[in-house]
Amino acid sequence: MKKIHYLLLALVCGVFTGCMDGDWDEPAAKDTIYGNSDIKEANVITVKDLKTKYKNEISTLGVYKQIDEDLQLKVVVTANDIEGNMYNEICVQDKTGGIFIGISQGGIFGYLPVGTEILIDLKGLCIGNYRRSATIGTPYTSKDGEVSVSRMPRALWQQHFTYTGYREHVTPELFADGSTPTTWDLTMDAGKLGTIKNVTIKQAGYFNSEEGENGTYHDGIKFVPGESAFVIPGFSTSWYFNEQISDTNDGVAVQIYTSSYADFAAMKLPTGKVNVTGVLKHYCNKKGQRDQWELIMRSLSDIEEVK
């Protein structure tokens, strides 16, 4: 009798083992809690061609347009909010250029880490600029009447992107080495990931946001080796380089921009030569008084001391 029980047990185990033979099905893309798996690749346009098509909306303050064509971007995430220096936005890039995507959501890095390739369904979204940096999102009007393209609702974004299933490492472009002049184009270069090498910190400036749009921009704050942090306490801060006083675009200065909310805001700046990596953003206030290029670091590891 005991032998019969063992034989039956062996038979049942064999049946279950047979059921497990073969490959497991991959989880369907629609099972993910992020994105819209109904989006299928079609009518892909490059970032460069998109910027060319909407050049007026990108280069003119207060102008935007809702995209009414069936167009898609196939891009890789190059920057997100992982250490707080970017807020409610990501930056994406293909081989032709980069662009900012405004999203009203925190913790985006959790589901869109750097290197993730995605498809973006552009129809119904707006394209324009935020302070002259090309941006996709929804229109926003400030209390002072300034119109820009800013962060779209989270639910809207989830309906307009999907994962391709691929990851890619984007190599930063070399923007400048030492005092090599930069030659950035307003429309084409904003949004790119790049590096400025062999530069030293000179001085800082910050805008007193507590005074509103008519506040004062404080410039010429000296760099104190070993003491100066990434931000002036309480204010997002821009640090300029000794070697990159201005670029060839009408004398516009190049700077590292650090949000006062960045995880590394209170960290001390390196004292010697550094290589700095980040996404390039153009900034111009509505009065045209500040017209400059900002290098937005993604994390503390984006600044490297040159040994």
Q: What is the reported pLDDT for 206? A: 87
Burial grade of 191 (CB within 10 A; 0-12, 13-18, 19 or more): buried
Q: Are residues 159 and 180 in the same domain?
A: no
pLDDT digits (tens, 9 = 90+) for 228-280: 999 999 899 999 898 886 544 444 568 899 999 999 999 999 999 999 999 99
Q: Is residue 10 part of a domain?
A: no
Q: What is the reported pLDDT for 200? A: 94
Total count of domains within the chain: 2
Q: What is the reported pLDDT for 268? A: 96
Q: Are residues 144 and 256 in the same domain?
A: no
Burial grade of 62 (CB within 10 A; 0-12, 13-18, 19 or more): middle
Helix (H) or strand (E) holding 76: strand 72-79
Q: What is the reported pLDDT for 82? A: 97
Burial grade of 226 (CB within 10 A; 0-12, 13-18, 19 or more): exposed
* Higher per-residue pLDDT: 282 or 105: 105
pTM of the model: 0.85
Q: What is the reported pLDDT for 305? A: 95
In the structure encoding, which two tokens stand for residue 81, read together?
Answer: 């909010």
Q: Are residues 158 and 255 in the same domain?
A: no
Q: Are residues 63 and 150 in the same domain?
A: yes
Q: Are residues 237 and 293 in the same domain?
A: yes
Boundaries of domain holding 38: 29-167
* Higher per-residue pLDDT: 140 or 214: 140
Q: Is residue 2 part of a domain?
A: no
Show which of 114, 135, 167 is a domain's final residue: 167
Taking residues 106-130, what's their average pLDDT? 97
Q: Are residues 124 and 199 in the same domain?
A: no
On the question of pLDDT at 295 being above 90, the answer is yes
Q: Are residues 159 and 184 in the same domain?
A: no
Show which of 144, 167, 190 is a domain's final residue: 167
Show which of 167, 183, 210 is a domain's final residue: 167
Q: Are residues 163 and 178 in the same domain?
A: no
Q: Are residues 246 and 218 in the same domain?
A: yes
On the question of pLDDT at 55 being above 70, the answer is yes
CA distances from 28 to 76, 149, 155 (A): 22, 34, 21
Q: Is residue 141 part of a domain?
A: yes
On the question of pLDDT at 21 being above 50, the answer is no
Q: Are residues 162 and 84 in the same domain?
A: yes
pLDDT band per the 50, 70, 90 thresholds, residue 12: very low
pLDDT band per the 50, 70, 90 thresholds, residue 182: confident
